[in-house]
Amino acid sequence: MKNWEKAGLVEVVRSCSNVTKDDEIEVIDEGAEIVELVMEETRMKYEGGSARECRGIVQALLDAFLTAVKRMKCG
């Protein structure tokens, strides 16, 4: 298990789409590097008032994950 996977993974990020952090992390780990791709792959809803909130949550997770990966690669 990777260290970043130890955070509350079963927490549902968006109940309207039933997407968990684990779902998002799996998609990011498989190579998704932009919000739209993560949302598409997890079948998270794109439209409506909550879509902006979803995008913010996904972007924060992407930023944290990609920053951690860069640090690991650079030593």
Half-sphere exposure of 31 (CA within 13 A, CB side): 0
**In the prediction, which pLDDT does 15 show?**
62
Q: Is the pTM of this model over 0.85?
A: no
Please answer whether residues 20 and 10 qualify as being in contact, where contact means their C-beta atoms are separated by less than 8 angstroms: yes
pLDDT digits (tens, 9 = 90+) for 29-50: 899 989 999 988 988 866 556 7
Say how far apart CA 73 and CA 21 lie, in whole Å: 23
4-8, 12-16, 50-54, 55-59: the lowest-pLDDT one: 4-8
Amino acid at 30: E
Q: Which residues contact 4 (CB under 8 A, 6 or more apart)?
A: 25, 64, 65, 68
Say how far apart CA 71 and CA 8 lie, in whole Å: 22
Is it the case that residue 13 has pLDDT exceeding 80? no
